[in-house]
A = this chain, B = another copy of it.
Amino acid sequence: MALIVQKYGGTSVGSLERMQNVAARARKTQEQGHRVVLIVSAMAGETNRLLGMAHKLTPLPDARELDALAATGEQVSAALVALAIQAQGGKAKSFLGHQLKIMTDSAYTKARILAIDAGRLHEALDSGAIGVVAGFQGVDDAGNITTLGRGGSDTSAVAVAAALGADACEIYTDVDGVYTTDPNICPSAKKIDKVSYEEMLELASLGAKVLQIRSVEVAMKYQVPVEVKSSFSDTPGTWVVREDEALESTVVRGVALDKNEARVMLVGCDDKPGVVAKIFGALADQHIAVDMIIQSPSRHSNGRNGPSVDVTFTVNKSDLERTKLIVAGVLESVGGTAAEYDENVVKVSIVGLGMRSHAGVAAKMFALLAKEGVNIQAIATSEIRVSCLVESKYAELSVRALHDGFELGA
């Protein structure tokens, strides 16, 4: 007998009929002798409907109220799925964030889970019930309702699985696993059977939207085996597991595409200590996350004595307007002569544990892009990833060239 946590996304609970399917699957798992806990998202479209009302009232809604509002979507799903299980003759009980004491910090709309009291869930399981937990939500220590950000139900699921000491966390979604790249771009993209937490973390943060990044971090921290699979079929999905369990060590596991970054360049800054700290300190103060950073000797003179540098970095497009204000505020004090902004860029990346031990992977990537005439605007690397910023029009071409070049196809 195992303890299985199953998470169902908005599409999987998008109608009463689909909820009945979810109920049937959960019951089937229970009938196989397992203890079952479900984590459910809001019905597809519901979160947008709720937040849409808030934004009609005010362009900058208060985050505390937004969270109280949005959390109702998952509350509705949890109650309805519990009822669907009962309607099929099963036993079920719904739980909200505050009822399970899913304690988070107070960072509304993007809160982080700090602790979960799994006691009440264990009680429900002991009584033979299926626990149905509203995903996406928690509560801070003052009792305010918080939410975990888009895709937060994934994190709810993994965190609940960790708190319960579950044997597996199954993430049911509208795709049947994690692919070597987006199948809409590369028809030859292949489903990955096993991927390590580290690789999944890179893939998730690079735009493979199958799992919320934070959920992978929690899974890695607590060593929760996660399976991403389709709620519309019974085919095996993709397991996200410890590195030593992700047997087949491939140099490149997948190719990811991220269209959400914008490039910023401060031209002709002073080349002296403290300049870069000033720029990125100002951004950090406003909680703007910076991704790729490049500092290079300026091709332009700043008209003063001494060398000058161009500082290039990328930010999320949604942060670009605020970034412009901050850059305008510091540009003069760092000696910059101009600021350039470019939203017409994408980040294409290759990810794989094998890169640690294989030399020449980055070189091969650059060569594959060059062969297609794609100019690289910036490069960033981690131990198991190489990312290149390229012009938007080359996005799909670059992904296909890399996917084929590294022989990832089916």
A20 within 8 A of B: yes
Instruction: Report the separation of the CA atoms of residues A84 and B53 in the bound assembly, to the nearest whole angstrom.
Output: 10
- Interfacial chain B residues near A16, Cβ < 8 Å: 53, 56-57
Q: Name the contact of A80 in the complex, choosing from B57, B78, B82, B96 (C-beta under 8 A).
A: B57
- Interfacial chain B residues near A82, Cβ < 8 Å: 62, 65
Closest chain B residue, CB of each to CB of A59: B87
A19, A57, A61, A96 interface centre (most CB from chain B within 10 Å): A57
Q: Is the CB of B62 within 8 A of A69?
A: no
A86 within 8 A of B: yes
Interface residues of A in 73-131 (CB under 8 A from B): 75-76, 78-80, 82-84, 86-87, 93-94, 96, 98-99, 120
Do A87 and B58 contact each other (CB < 8 Å), given the known contacts A53-B16, A143-B98? Answer: yes
Taking the full assembly, how many copies of this chain does it contain?
A: 2
Q: Is the CB of B99 within 8 A of A83?
A: no
Q: Is the CB of A83 within 8 A of B57?
A: yes
- Nearest-neighbour CB distance to chain B for A225, whole angstroms, equals 30
A397 within 8 A of B: no
Instruction: Report the separation of the CA atoms of residues A98 and B86 in the bound assembly, to the nearest whole angstrom.
Output: 26
A-side interface size class: 35 or more
- Nearest-neighbour CB distance to chain B for A182, whole angstroms, equals 34
Q: Is the CB of B98 within 8 A of A83?
A: no
- Interfacial chain B residues near A61, Cβ < 8 Å: 83, 86
- Interfacial chain B residues near A144, Cβ < 8 Å: 99
Interface residues of A in 4-27 (CB under 8 A from B): 16, 19-20
Closest chain B residue, CB of each to CB of A134: B68
- Interfacial chain B residues near A98, Cβ < 8 Å: 98, 143
Do A68 and B79 contact each other (CB < 8 Å), given the known contacts A98-B143, A143-B98, A144-B99? Answer: yes
Instruction: Report the separation of the CA atoms of residues A352 and B24 in the bound assembly, to the nearest whole angstrom.
Output: 57
Instruction: Report the separation of the CA atoms of residues A82 and B64 in the bound assembly, to the nearest whole angstrom.
Output: 10
Instruction: Report the separation of the CA atoms of residues A76 and B68 in the bound assembly, to the nearest whole angstrom.
Output: 7
A401 within 8 A of B: no
Q: Is the CB of A94 within 8 A of B78?
A: no
Interface residues of A in 178-204 (CB under 8 A from B): none
A276 within 8 A of B: no
Q: Is the CB of A96 within 8 A of B68?
A: yes
Closest chain B residue, CB of each to CB of A98: B98
Q: Is the CB of A54 within 8 A of B66?
A: no
Q: Name the contact of A145 in the complex, choosing from B54, B80, B96, B120 (C-beta under 8 A).
A: B96
Given A66-B79, A69-B75, output 11 extra A-B contacts at Cβ < 8 Å.
A53-B80, A54-B79, A54-B80, A62-B83, A62-B86, A65-B80, A65-B82, A68-B78, A69-B80, A72-B76, A96-B145
